[in-house]
């Protein structure tokens, strides 16, 4: 049973465009929803995270939108840059348990 479903698997965006990656979860006990960015040959690194008591969180060009009733959350990258090309993972966790990751989205931003 996959607890966190992520889409799309891959995404190609032109420089300056908006990249949108979506995730859906099943376990209502999850209370922490981070996004990780991974470059080739590196470990994933936290990009931005949200807790379910807010519907949106913005940090620079990166925004998480959270819909608790639909059990969905998404990452928006505004003004996408070639340097944003990486693999992005959503995740969900609760204080009582482990972090469960989505399957990842490979983002390519074309110059």
Partner 1 sequence: DTAVSQTPKYLVTQMGNDKSIKCEQNLGHDTMYWYKQDSKKFLKIMFSYNNKELIINETVPNRFSPKSPDKAHLNLHINSLELGDSAVYFCASSSGQGEKLFFGSGTQLSVL
* Closest CB to partner 1 among residues 32, 108: 32
Q: Which of residues 23-82 bind partner 1 (CB under 8 A)?
A: 31-32, 34, 36, 38, 41-46, 49
Phi, psi of 20 (to 5 degrees): -130, 125
Nearest of 24, 30, 7, 14 to residue 98 by alpha carbon: 30
Cβ neighbours of residue 42 closer than 8 Å, sequence gap 6 or more: none
Closest CB to partner 1 among residues 18, 46: 46
Least Å distance, CB 71 to partner 1, is 17
Structure token digits, residue 56: 């949106």
Report, in Å, the least distance between residue 3 CB and partner 1: 12
CB atoms near residue 53 (< 10 Å): 8
Helices and strands in the chain: count of H runs, count of E runs: 0, 11
Rounded to 5 degrees, φ, ψ at 82 are -55, -35
* Minimum distance from residue 16 beta carbon to partner 1 (Å): 26
92-111 footprint of partner 1 as x/- string (CB under 8 A): -xxxxxxxxx-xx-x-----
Decide whether 73 or 89 has the Cβ nearer to partner 1. 89
Q: Which residues bind partner 1 (CB under 8 A)?
A: 31-32, 34, 36, 38, 41-46, 49, 87, 89, 93-101, 103-104, 106
């Amino acid at each position: 049973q996959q607890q966190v479903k992520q889409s799309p698997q891959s995404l190609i965006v032109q420089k300056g465009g908006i990249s949108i990656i979506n995730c859906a979860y099943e376990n209502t006990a999850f209370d922490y929803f981070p996004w990780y960015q991974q470059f080739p040959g590196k470990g994933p690194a936290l990009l931005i995270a949200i807790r379910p008591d807010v519907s949106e969180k913005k940090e620079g060009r990166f925004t998480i939108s959270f819909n608790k009733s639909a059990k969905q959350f998404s990452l928006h990258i505004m003004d996408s840059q070639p340097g944003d090309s990486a693999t992005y993972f959503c995740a969900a966790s609760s204080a009582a348990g482990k972090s469960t990751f989505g399957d990842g989205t490979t983002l390519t931003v074309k110059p």
